[in-house]
Amino acid sequence: MSDVVVECRKITRVYGEGSVEVHALRGIDLELRSGEFVSMAGPSGSGKSTLLNVVGALDRPTTGEVLIDGEKLNDMSKSELADLRLHKIGFVFQAYNLIPVLSARENVEFIMQLQGVAARERRKRALDMLEEVGIADLADRRPADMSGGQQQRVAVARAIVSRPVLLLADEPSANLDSVTTQELLGLLKRLNTQFGTTILTATHDPNVMAFAARHIQLHDGAIESDDGKAEAA
């Protein structure tokens, strides 16, 4: 079995049409292998978030092919894409996207509930994961009663509790102070090493880049440099 988790072949993404066309991605070729920790940098408008959305099956490319864990996304229906996201991809957004009326434990359980995991099992796994990210004592708190760093830890726990093959993080340190950023990155690195989850993060933060083993630079919707491409090929 191939250890290629993400494969993008000549990906383009065009918004609008005619004189108002915006070429967000221009012929992206990319492979990510199991267990890689990859940072993706570039100025605003370079295509980082668009590429994350395409890789994460939240948006479809205009042309080209995307494969996640060997499955081709292009021909999938909306329900099939939703099922793939549910079982194979974890997301960590800079806005956290926690459900405000649910406790930390319930937020972590939510994905497993959608997956049909039995109540007792998902409760145990949620508590174990909150312990793993260092906030088991906050299991019954709602997001409004937690700091930004604590909320981000809940978001990370929710993203990885079902052991996705791929974790996508969009500016994960954007709302965090430097100390909390280092704690979060140490956590991601440890989980990456412990569980072998492939991580792709879009970031402007040099601290995030320092934790990644591979660095991709985007410019005007194209890959300008990739220091791990030869190794990954």
Q: How confident is the model at residue 1 (pLDDT cuts 50, 70, 90)?
A: very low
CA atoms within 13 A on the CB side of 24: 20
Least confident of 5-19, 110-124, 155-169, 182-196: 182-196
DSSP string, 65-119: EEEETTEE-TT--HHHHHHHHHHHEEEEETT----TTS-HHHHHHHHHHHHT--H
Show the tokens assigned to 86: 């549910």
Segment 108-134, tens digit of pLDDT: 999 999 999 999 999 999 999 999 888
What does the mean pLDDT of the chain come to? 90
- Of residues 134, 84, 76, the one with CA closest to residue 104: 134
**CATH code assigned at 18:** 3.40.50.300
Full residue range of the structural domain in which residue 58 is found: 4-232
Segment 37-54, tens digit of pLDDT: 999 999 888 999 999 999
| Total domains in the fold of the chain | 1
Does the pLDDT value for residue 151 go beyond 80? yes
- pLDDT, residue 230, reads 44
Does the pLDDT value for residue 2 go beyond 80? no
Segment 77-92, tens digit of pLDDT: 999 999 999 999 999 8
Q: How confident is the model at residue 233 (pLDDT cuts 50, 70, 90)?
A: very low
Give the sheet arrangement for strand 166-170, strand by strand: 89-93, 166-170, 198-202, 37-41, 214-219, 222-226
